[in-house]
Amino acid sequence: MSLRRNISQASEEDEGEINLTPMLDVVFIMLIFFIVTATFIKEAGIDINRPIAKTAAEQRGASILIAISPNNDVWIDRRKVKPEAVKPAVERLLAENPEGEVVIQADAESQAEALLEVMASVREAGAANIALSAEQD
């Protein structure tokens, strides 16, 4: 009789527990969904002090960011590249995203010649839309 009583007590305890496995499965599936569908913020690789402009307008959907540092170093995808390597890098990024827009973030202390050289390389790479980044006044 005591054996039956122990079995019935064990089955009552099992019925009172909550199985968390299906809930964890759903949580992991939702996590994967949000990771896959999230829009990631793209960065050029360094912080830039952008020049101030009264005509600055917000640019959405820029997929290729190029930064020019105060000492005229060029950064693409968080990597420092030589000025002559800008064209192949932009060509590669445009091959991945043909409708990509290029935004050049030139530091206020950088030289205009470096900016013009980068813009020429981006045009030669075949970019249709090029924008310069500036702070709104």
Residues 76 and 118 occupy one common structural domain: yes
Kindly give, in sequence order, each residue whose CB lies less than 8 Å from that of residue 56, ignoring residues fewer than 6 positions away: 134, 135, 136, 137
Which residue did the predictor score with more confidence, 74 or 13? 74
Handedness of CA 5, 11, 15, 19 (dihedral sign): positive
**CATH no. for residue 59?**
3.30.420.270
Among residues 72, 82, 95, the alpha carbon closest in space to that of 121 is found at 82
Note the pTM of the prediction, 2 decimals: 0.63
Write out pLDDT tens, residues 80-135. 999 899 999 999 988 888 887 888 888 888 898 999 999 999 999 988 888 888 77
Q: How far apart are alpha carbons 129 and 20 in whole angstroms? A: 51
Q: Domain span at residue 62?
A: 52-136
Domain-embedded: residue 42: no
Provide the pLDDT for residue 15. Answer: 65
Domain-embedded: residue 119: yes
